[in-house]
Amino acid sequence: MIRAPGRAWKLRANFRVIWPGMLVLSAMLTGGQAWSQSTNYAPPTQYYGVGSGVGYINESATGDFNGDGRTDVVVARSYYPLQNQGIPIQIYLNLPRGIIDGTSSVINGSVPTTVHPRGSVIADFNGDGKDDIFIADHGYDASPFPGAQNVLLLSRTDGKLEDKTATNLPQVVDFSHSATGGDIDGDGDIDIYVGNIWGQQQIGPYFLINDGSGNFTADDSMLPLSFRSLSEKFTSSLLKDMDFDGNLDLVLGPHDPNGPRQNVLMKGHGDGTFTYTRLGPIRSGYNDSVHIAVEDITRDGLPEILFSIVPPGYAHAGIQVYTGKADGSFVEVPESELAFFFTAYDFNASSWIKSTFTPRLNSGDCLPDVAFDLVAESPRFLISNLPDNPFVNPGIDTGWMTQTEILDVDGDGANDIFTANSTDATITRQITPPGCPIKLVSAVLPTSRSVQVGQTATIFGAMINLSTSVDATNCRVRMTAPIAGRFDYQTTDPAGNQLTGSPNTPVNIPPRGVQSFVLAFTPSEPMTGRELGFGFVCDNSDTAADIVRGVNTYSFSASTGPVPDIIAIAQTPAPNDGVVRIPTPGGNGVFAMAGINIGAPATLNVAPVIGNGLPVTASICQTDSMGACLSPPSASVAAPFATDQVRTFTVFLQDQGEAVAFDPGRNRIKVEFRNANGGELHGSTGLAVMTQ
């Protein structure tokens, strides 16, 4: 029987250099099975003279900036030696013929400048489906540290970008050392955290709140006073859902020579508010965290946080790692347990880790790798070709004024390496794309349960091996959310859902095979509306089957007293495959559904919920045994449920004249059963929607 476990965290590592300036670690669980093959790269391709030659590149980011489906790179520069003067940004287009300077063809009008960029966010800020650009600029990095204006470029209807800094951003000259983006308030658009640390103006960090059209308003009200007053400062930031509750959390790495120097996790609640949590102090002897990466290195469904840390003077690279636990907390991995911790080894004194990447680099290797972009005048790299070999120092030298990105240059699924200095760019193509032998998909039903604390809630799950020729081996299920309680799984016979095998025992799945499971969770404390995901994973599979809300997640509530618990199912017209097909844009669709209450009696509000901004309206009616509406359809109905009582309903859909693509993971409609007075969810079901 499985309980939410802690664990001893051990990692073995296989180091090798794949490009000067990059230290690569191939992660491998101790005692686990290795599927990796050698990583092969073609000779580098040089693109001379694509850079302006002015200053050096201090910030870069990737996105599709000309709408051709290929990944491009935006670079921003600063002077060295330092000057309080801006340099125009550049956009390197990744065309089939190679890398070119596409700045003038992509940016309409004037090209914005940066003085000393230190962070960027690439996202669709104005809701048109195209990549936009935000660049954080802390300005002249010497006394009096005057700061600089951050930069925003938004996409236009003609596909070009335009500098909207003056109209869509607060006009603030501040010292912005990091930036990270995401929807913090649940309104469907991308907001930005601006990580200010000090400077002449003494302006603290803040969020840029998006109105949905790319107009931003500064708001620091959700941040603690210690942040706003700069008594607690942070040089690195990352928005990420760290506890899988569907809400973005804010991870912060410190810059506090005279302060608490704490790594911090601000747990988000999805409404723009956060709860402050200290992870722990930065490692002794270090002063700043300059970059944050998050990855499930151990593939246990719980994330690791990798802080790139530096001592005063930015000499001697360091990594500090926290590993997630099942209760939602994080624990620092002791230095003695980090096989890839290399501060104690023979690195050049000027080396530090500017960026950390977590791609997968090995063909057939199902574990994530870690690559460090080093800044050093003459770095030397640590290499270990086998996990238990001693470290080897080959003495490879390279220049330090370069910028690195890992991206798929030619769309073949490989992780290619882009590097650029002031004047030139280089592409090193991966010959053998990485990947695992197995790709999985999964689903669960029902999509909601509501029980009393201590009572077990069961649902059914299914895992499909999409390979046509390879068995998926040692396949199992785990909860991805840190949550208080006990989780168990057991295989079933897909034909009749009868139990097979033994509890919590992995199973092999043949090519194109389907394995069904019964999943059981027993909560040990109250909780309301937690969206719980499941990790379906095999030894030789890709990372656990993608988590898609409403497909392989379910909403879970636990109460101290008896509560209603609705098991709901829905049925569409033939072929009854879980997809509502509306004949044409502007047309109508329909589906039937039923719910049985296996919990306490209650009157519940039953309502269809449209997701993903679909151009569809919905109404519902309760039906009799012949399927006839008992009253005219409306937005919701109040339905009294006795214990073990079944109610039936019909849902009517009206398309608003726009086509709806077949995207069953996103274009969905749910029907929810909620408490009529408190709104607590006690049951739900969902279907995909499309127009034909």
pLDDT in tens, 225-239: 999 999 999 999 999
CA distances from 417 to 19, 318, 428, 463 (A): 8, 23, 5, 34
Return the minimum-mean-pLDDT range out of 6-10, 352-356, 375-379.
Answer: 6-10
How far lies 80's CA from each of 350, 353, 439, 631, 666, in Å?
Answer: 16, 19, 47, 75, 47
pLDDT score of 488: 94
Query: Which amino acid, 457?
Result: A
Angle formed at CA 221 by CA 235 and CA 259, multiple of 5 degrees: 35
* Cβ contact 150:176 at 8 Å: yes
> What pLDDT does 18 receive?
38
Give the global pTM. 0.75
25 compared with 120, residue with greater pLDDT: 120
**pLDDT greater than 90 at residue 272:** yes
520: how many CB neighbours lie within 10 A of its CB?
A: 17
> How do residues 419-428 score in pLDDT, each as one tens digit?
888 999 988 8
Task: Tell me what pLDDT residue 338 has.
Answer: 66
Boundaries of every domain in the chain: 41-231, 436-563, 564-691
**Beta bridge partner(s), residue 275:** 267
Fold of 564-691: Immunoglobulin-like (2.60.40)
d(CA 537, CA 32): 14
Query: Are 436-563 and 564-691 in the same CATH fold?
Result: yes
CATH 2.60.40.1510 fits 436-563, yes or no: yes
Whole-angstrom Cα distance, residue 671 to residue 620? 9
369 by DSSP, 3-state: which?
A: strand
pLDDT in tens, 619-647: 999 999 899 999 999 999 999 999 999 99
**β strands within 232-368, DSSP E:** 234-240, 249-254, 262-268, 274-281, 288-295, 304-310, 318-324, 330-332, 352-357
* DSSP secondary structure of 165-208: HHHHS---EEEEEEEEEE-SSSSSS-EEEEEEEETTTT---EEE
